[in-house]
Structure 1
């Protein structure tokens, strides 16, 4: 079986059921008629950019990074609704003012997301500073974040 078909099969297995270990994935592939080594599974996991996220019972399972970005977007949407005071652009920066004690959680969520133009964040108690790569990126990113608020 060629690599692309194997990657497709792994994607289907991860999507259809909670796969928690490489050994479990190896067994599922074997049951599907494919015998692969642990090293091959490890490479395939990196290729597919699979990550571990909590399953329904709280134990880690494999998932796609896209799913994690979507989950973080939803968390950020709730954070905006619950704790955002204001947001403004100043040159390369987006300044997010929050209720006291909430800036760090904004930073954690923003840092975990792949956002175009974002270089990083610096957070205090009630202020989260997003450092962008250009003034144009800061305007675009602010617009993107404003869409999450709706």
Structure 2
């Protein structure tokens, strides 16, 4: 079996099953009739850009980046609903006011998202400051975040 076919098989296995370890992936490949080394599995995971995300049982499983983006979007949607007090734009900044203790969670979620025009975030206890590359991008970023509230 060539490399492309092996990568397709791994992709299908990751899509169909909650695979949590390289050893488990190796067992699934073996069951499918393919003998591979741990080093090959590791390289294939890197090439497919697989990441670990929480599974239904709370442990980590392999997944594709697209799934991770969906997971982050859902977390942001819930965080906005549960802890947002308000947002405003001032020049190059978007200021997010939260319930006490929630600003860092907003910052971590926003930092993990690729948002055009965002230079970074600084968070305190109840305020998350998004530093933008221009005042126009600050308005755009606020609008993009607001879409998660709908």
Mark the runs of 5 or more structure 2 residues left unpaired by the alignment.
none
Show the counterpart of 2:34: 34
Cα offset for 1:35? 2.1
How far does residue 123 in structure 1 lie from its aligned partner after superposition?
A: 0.4
Partner of 2:143: 143
In the alignment, structure 1 residue 44 sits paired with structure 2 residue 44? yes
CA distance in 1, matches of 2:116, 2:139: 11
Distance 1:99 1:58, change over 3 A: closer
Listed as ranges, the gaps of 5+ residues in structure 1 are none
Under a length normalisation based on structure 2, what TM-score does the superposition of the two structures give?
0.88
CA RMSD of superposed structures (Å)? 1.7
- Which deviates the most, 54-63 or 22-31? 54-63
Query: Is 1:69 the equivalent of 2:66?
Result: no
Match runs of 1:70-149 below 5 Å: 70-149=70-149
Figure out how many residues of one structure are paired with residues of the other and give that number.
150
The alignment partner of 2:129 has SS state of strand
1:4-54 Cα shifts (integer Å, max 9, x gaps): 322221111011111111111112112223222211211111122212222
Residues 1:92 and 1:7: Cα distance change in structure 2 (over 3 Å): farther
